[in-house]
Amino acid sequence: MIIAKPHIHQIYRTGTILENRRKCLRLDMNEHADGLPDEFVAEVFSMLDANHLSAYPEYASLIRKIADHNGINRENICLSNGSDAAIKYIFEAYVSAGDKVLLTDPTFAMYPIYGEMFAAKVVKIPYGQDLELDTEAFLSEIDGTVRLAVLVNPNNPTGSVLSVSEIDRIIDKCKHYGTLLVIDEAYYYYCPTSCIRQIDHHDNVIVLRTFSKLCALAALRIGYAAAAPDIIANLNRVRPTFDVNAVAVHFAECLLDADGLIEDQIRLMKEGKRFLVSRLRENHMAFQDGHANFVLIKCPGFVAEITGRLKDRHILVSGGFRQECLKDFIRVTVGSIEKMEQFWRVFFDIWQRMAADR
């Protein structure tokens, strides 16, 4: 038997082999619950031919469009196989065994996993019961020993967002101590306060974006990192050749070219979120709506029962968070009003039946 590196055996991974989710109302993984308009998808597919599939992907045009979309330079962009892969590029290029990595708790699950993969010393600052980050505690950890610090803003799964002034303080302290700061903006479009222009002024900041959430291209796995040219050069040094596929590139280009499409998706999500929040308020249910594409609904003592009953009726939501501040919540991805009406009818029926049983 060939033995892996000793520390690899200590890494716990949840299963990623998915099955039959498309048959359900998918509100568990913060995907786009509705998907892009069918006519847009059909039109984009119709532009593909055998030549697209037989040639290696070309990235220059998409990089130009992303640069224009964000008001930055082409030299500031590294494409990635989802923002997940960009995180790994960062660890490969900058984190060595024993390096100190500063995270929040909770955060996107791959950050602590990559910390373990690269044998880093991971330090976590917890969110409080109010689902807000103690920024002073986070700042106090930043010193000459921290190699990498990470903020997900808005955060998943709390939905919390840091103010511009708080982020500026963290950027400044990281720069003072030579710490690389990652600001993960996977949920940017739902709360468009971005730090992406900070890369023009700070050579220690990386901003991550993805096409998997609002842009509804989770299946195609495409994202990007934005940073100073020297950082981008290092990420490209460790990045696999042609790891972003040509179909993903084509869809991302067409999406950025489509007049008003992104704005329409933002509007649909906001309408759906308002609908769900209004129903929760009308029925005096405790919840946190946050600043991302999901709502946290408090179900103290019966999270597992709620998620199980919803699954039995083909609706998937998240629950079972280990953090004390989240253990009583289910997380419901927000979609259009139609999707939220579908969720609410079933959820409220289950809620009433459970209340009657108790």
| Confidence band, pLDDT 50/70/90 cuts, at residue 15 | low
- 1 assigned to some structural domain: no
Residues 129 and 272 in one domain: no
The pLDDT assigned to 21 comes to: 87
pLDDT digits (tens, 9 = 90+) for 47-57: 999 999 999 99
The pLDDT assigned to 356 comes to: 75
Residues 85 and 209 in one domain: yes
Residues 29 and 51 in one domain: no
pLDDT digits (tens, 9 = 90+) for 302-311: 999 999 999 9
Tokens matching residue 143: 């010193």
Residues 27 and 276 sit within 8 Å (Cβ to Cβ):
no
In the predicted model, what is the mean pLDDT of residues 108-117? 96
Residues 60 and 181 in one domain: yes
Residues 238 and 92 sit within 8 Å (Cβ to Cβ):
yes
Residues 95 and 212 in one domain: yes
pLDDT digits (tens, 9 = 90+) for 234-276: 999 999 999 999 999 999 999 999 999 999 999 999 999 999 9
When the pLDDT of each residue in the chain is averaged and rounded to a whole number, the result is 95
The total number of structural domains in the chain stands at 2
Residue 331 pLDDT greater than 90, yes or no: yes
Residues of the chain above pLDDT 70, percent: 99
The pLDDT assigned to 118 comes to: 96
Beta strands in the chain (DSSP E): 25-27, 77-80, 100-105, 121-126, 146-152, 180-184, 205-210, 223-227, 287-288, 294-298, 315-317, 329-333
* Overall pTM > 0.75: yes
Which of 234, 257, 280 is the C-terminal boundary of a domain?
257
